[in-house]
Amino acid sequence: MRIQPIFLIGYGGVGRALARQIIAARARHAQRCDLRLEIVGIADSRGARIERTGLSDDMLRNLDARKAATGSFDRYDAPAPPALDPFVADDVILVDSTASDVAVPALRRAAQSPQGGAVLANKLPLAGPLAWWDDITGGRARWETTCGSALPVISTLNTLLNSNDEILKIEGSLSGTLAFLSAQLEAGRPFGAAVREARERGYTEPDPRQDLGGRDAARKALILARMLGYRLGMDDVGIEPLYPASMDGLSVDEFLREADALDGPMAARAGELTRGGRKLRYAARIENGRCQVGLAGAEPDSKLGLIRATDSVVVFTTRHFSDNPVSVSGRGAGQEVTASGVLGDIVSLSAR
């Protein structure tokens, strides 16, 4: 049986779910792929646990329980990234499930290693400078879960590109949080109340401006645009934020209180976009060398208009699929489902 060493950087919701899923999938991987995934290191923000021959399943279960209970490991064998780099061997598949760019040097190296590779759930390295993009995606790398969690968005786009189809346009709704808010606005709910409810339900970051600013949706759009060959950076993406920059200086509580002041303008914008029964979406649009995200009205019977309120969808209009475009839709967020997408990427990258 082939042994594939794995190094996990980031051991939060996605990283921990992934470690559990690797254990749960052992029989399937042995039977289908003659493969054993061996976790040789795990890093969180404080440091790393390392076992060059592989952390045993019992050790992994203990680390999971310990991290859940205390937020840290009982001991650390190496420093946190980027100081961790010398401890990461060339033959590992490095998995980035942090939400920072600390692992970028290690990811660039891993992707260029003929025996190793890089798998990313984290969008930041792929939405950074183009040199990062070129090194990571030009090497041995997978990043399926960066756009729509485990939905096969990236693999569908790769298949279309490999078949030499011409991609004319990509549209998508790629933020569950903004999809929820759009649905509320479309139903006539005041903006401020909808934002507070989304936060109470745990749909937003603790500071909802991180979602409302549109940058997360923009990063996903940028990744798709770069896959089409557009040489763009984040500054080139047109972003419609759902609050004015003048509210950036407020505390979270002040923002949540003062968001009611946006009820009138947001209701007017939603009313204008949903005229004639159109559905309100926070949509990405990639076409003719341009990439943008913002509120849009979608025809109710279109693939963008038909999805359930909090689902994600990406629609590819191509030369071969022009009157009835290819679409991928479904649940586009969640730590367990994202971990399953990362696991699929690891196995695909392990196949020699």
Ligand X SMILES: NC(=O)c1ccc[n+]([C@@H]2O[C@H](COP(=O)([O-])OP(=O)(O)OC[C@H]3O[C@@H](n4cnc5c(N)ncnc54)[C@H](OP(=O)(O)O)[C@@H]3O)[C@@H](O)[C@H]2O)c1
Binding mask 134-163 for ligand X (x = CB under 6 A): -----------x---x--------------
3-state secondary structure of 312: strand
The two three-digit tokens of residue 270, written as one number: 């939603």
Of 97-105, 106-114, 196-204, 222-230, the segment contacting ligand X by CB under 6 A is 97-105
- 172 touches ligand X by CB under 6 A: no
Q: Which of residues 103-132 bind ligand X (CB under 6 A)?
A: 121-123
H or E element: which one contains 35? strand 35-43
Q: What is the side-by-side strand order in the sheet with 117-120?
A: 48-50, 35-43, 2-9, 93-96, 117-120, 141-142
H or E element: which one contains 350? helix 335-350
- 102 touches ligand X by CB under 6 A: yes
Q: How far is the CB of 261 from ligand X (least distance, A)?
A: 30
Q: How far is the CB of 250 from ligand X (least distance, A)?
A: 24
Of 58-66, 94-102, 314-322, 343-351, the segment contacting ligand X by CB under 6 A is 94-102
| Closest residue to ligand X: CB criterion | 12
Of 25-33, 39-47, 51-59, 343-351, the segment contacting ligand X by CB under 6 A is 39-47
The packing angle between helices 335-350 and 26-33, to 10°, is 30
Q: How far is the CB of 44 from ligand X (least distance, A)?
A: 3
Q: Which of residues 283-342 bind ligand X (CB under 6 A)?
A: 333-335, 338
Q: What is the separation of C-alpha 104 from the centre of its chain, rounded to a whole number of angstroms?
A: 16
- 99 touches ligand X by CB under 6 A: yes
- 78 touches ligand X by CB under 6 A: no
Residue nearer to ligand X on the CB measure, 330 or 334: 334
Pick from 4, 7, 73, 81 the residue near ligand X by CB under 6 A.
Answer: 81
Supply the DSSP string of 234-266, one letter for each residue.
GGGSEE--SS-GGGTTS-HHHHHHHGGGGHHHH
Of 57-65, 96-104, 161-169, 268-276, the segment contacting ligand X by CB under 6 A is 96-104
Instruction: Decide if 306 contacts 283 (C-beta within 8 A).
Output: no
H or E element: which one contains 224? helix 215-227
The three state secondary structure string of 49-93 is EECCCCCCHHHHHHHHHHHHHHCCCCCCCECCCCCCHHHCCCCCE
- 5 touches ligand X by CB under 6 A: no
Dist CA 330 CA 39 (whole Å): 30
- 43 touches ligand X by CB under 6 A: yes
Instruction: Decide if 341 contacts 144 (C-beta within 8 A).
Output: yes
Under rule CB under 6 A, how many of the chain's residues touch ligand X? 27
Q: How far is the CB of 101 from ligand X (least distance, A)?
A: 9
Dist CA 24 CA 64 (whole Å): 14
The two three-digit tokens of residue 23, written as one number: 């254990």
- 9 touches ligand X by CB under 6 A: yes
Residue nearer to ligand X on the CB measure, 45 or 115: 45
Residue nearer to ligand X on the CB measure, 191 or 282: 282
Q: Which residues bind ligand X (CB under 6 A)?
A: 9-15, 43-46, 80-81, 97-100, 102, 121-123, 145, 149, 333-335, 338
